[in-house]
Amino acid sequence: MSYSGKAISALLTALLLLQACADQALLDSNAAIDDRGWSYEVMPEFDLQVSDTTAVYSLMLNLRHTGEYKYSNLFLLVHVIGPDKDTVSNRFEFTLAAPDGRWLGDGAGNVYSYSIPFSDSTRFRKAGLYRFQLEQNMREPVLTAIEDVGLRVEKR
């Protein structure tokens, strides 16, 4: 059986469109962390424009670190600044390694990637711009071996 170039091209285009429709991310953005480390003072920011206040949203931490990361977890403060400038802050712990020391993220060489859900039932009461700030909250003031950190928001 042989396919013409046009038929294959049409099939690939249809598959890409279906995949794009399946991706419900309203925000999927990462910020690179300087190779000197992630200090308390560095709080990457991510903006989300919310128009649907009746929807439920899932929030996920995007993270990449090298195998030299010294801890099996990460404590993070997530600050959310709403359209009326009110700020809500929550502390989360993310488990990055199994008890035997094996990294739980997807590995590529010496880099491990995660997309870890931390809220699957978020509702935004007001329409407008929401700013998320991610602050590392470990005992060490500068975390080394963190490559980048980010946020993914999906409408459920």
Does residue 2 surpass a pLDDT of 80? no
CATH for the stretch 25-155? 2.60.120
pLDDT in tens, 7-20: 444 444 444 444 44
Does residue 86 surpass a pLDDT of 60? yes
Q: How far apart are CA 24 and CA 51, in angstroms?
A: 15
Check residue 16 and give its pLDDT: 46
Place of tokens 């020391």: 101
Check residue 24 and give its pLDDT: 84
pLDDT in tens, 105-155: 999 999 999 999 999 999 999 999 999 999 999 999 999 999 999 999 999
Q: What is the DSSP letter of 7?
A: H
H/E segment holding residue 5: helix 5-22
pLDDT in tens, 21-71: 456 899 999 999 998 999 999 999 999 999 999 999 999 999 999 999 999
Residue type, 95: T
Q: State the first-to-last Cα distance of the chain, in angstroms, to the nearest integer.
A: 41
